[in-house]
Amino acid sequence: MAVQHVLTSPQFTIENLPPMPLPAAALMCPPDWFDVVDVKNPYMVGQQGHVDVALARRQWADVKSAFELAGVEVRTDNPVPGCEDMVFCANPIFTGLDRVGQRLCLLSHMRYASRQREVEAHGNWFRANGYKVVSLQAPELFEGEGDALWHPGRRLIWGGYGFRSSRDVYESVGEVFDAPVLTLELQTEQFYHLDTCLCLVDEQTALVYPGALTGEGMDLIRRMFLNVIEADEPEALSMACNAASFFGRFVVIQRGSGRVSRELSDLGFEVIEVETSEFMKSGGSVFCMKMYLF
């Protein structure tokens, strides 16, 4: 009998799920070719030709330094000419471990043709660095770690769908990693990837913008996390939820997320603020600019 990986009403608790190591490293891709060329999300409207390239490079370097300050080993991939969005390396791939500890890299099925060249380019890096690289056999859309998030420290995947990834694809994603998947429907185009409205901070803590998800999705998050920090709309539109968490201790977040940052600090997390304004013109921030490495 086939295993059903996508669950609609999970009966387990987080404590009963098998453990999974937290990532200790991250992949980044320098913004050598970064630009806003066309419109793929609402943030990009009117931004063509308005990227300050020199400032983008400084901001990227500051994000890299913030990760390193948190104790993260940062490795880099080579940017490909003409791949203006390759700096957002969370999207073309999804990485993790299978049940026996083998490192896997699952290649995405990107919605937009202008991003499809990134997939194989990143895949080549992972082949060269000891990962088993897997291609989806299903035709459905899937945009990697933009929509698929590991529950910190546990063998559970959260999968967003509605704009860039299809709900049906998560049966294949679950099969590849042999892990259960809980899906969340995205309902507003400003939050087109799950990582724009949900940050899984640690095993018991989530940062979320409720307006981006259905009521059923929010009920599921509140059930599965002890601590739920809810960003308001201005904070969410300023990419507060597109933060990156490391070691269950550090949170690197877009500068200006004042209330959210205070709530994280009150829970004992060390918050490191960075500026990503040039990348926000393309609809991305901190989390989009890295891929967790296992």
pLDDT digits (tens, 9 = 90+) for 162-173: 999 999 999 999
CA atoms of 244 and 291, how far apart (whole Å): 10
Annotated catalytic residue, options 83, 89, 241, 288: 288
| Residues 232-288: tens digit of each pLDDT | 999 999 999 999 999 999 999 999 989 999 999 999 999 999 999 999 999 999 999
Q: Is the pLDDT of residue 3 over 70?
A: no
Q: Is the pLDDT of residue 219 over 70?
A: yes
In a domain, 8, yes or no: no
Mean pLDDT score of the chain, rounded to an integer?
Answer: 96
CB < 8 Å & 24+ apart, contacts of 208-216: 208/241, 209/233, 209/235, 209/236, 209/240, 209/241, 211/236, 212/186, 212/187, 212/188, 212/236, 213/184, 213/185, 213/186, 213/187, 214/184, 214/185, 214/187, 216/185
Cβ atoms 213, 184 nearer than 8 A: yes
Q: Is 193 annotated as catalytic?
A: yes
Domain that holds residue 210: 18-293
What's 238's domain CATH number?
A: 3.75.10.10
Annotated catalytic residue, options 105, 193, 197, 199: 193
Q: Is the pLDDT of residue 193 over 50?
A: yes
H-helix or E-strand spanning residue 95: strand 93-97
In a domain, 179, yes or no: yes
Name which of 159, 158, 84 is nearest 116 in CA terms.
Answer: 84
What are the φ and ψ backbone dihedral angles of 128, each rounded to 5 degrees? -75, -10
Question: What tokens appear for 289 in the block?
Answer: 């600019």
Indicate the pTM of the whole model.
0.96
For residue 137, what pLDDT band results from cuts at 50, 70 and 90? confident
For residue 2, what pLDDT band results from cuts at 50, 70 and 90? very low
Q: Is the pLDDT of residue 4 over 90?
A: no
What's the residue count for the chain? 294
The number of domains in the chain is 1
| Residues 21-71: tens digit of each pLDDT | 999 899 999 999 999 999 999 999 999 999 999 999 999 999 999 999 999
Q: Is 288 annotated as catalytic?
A: yes
In a domain, 10, yes or no: no
In a domain, 13, yes or no: no
Residue 1: the pLDDT is: 33
Q: Is the pLDDT of residue 207 over 90?
A: yes
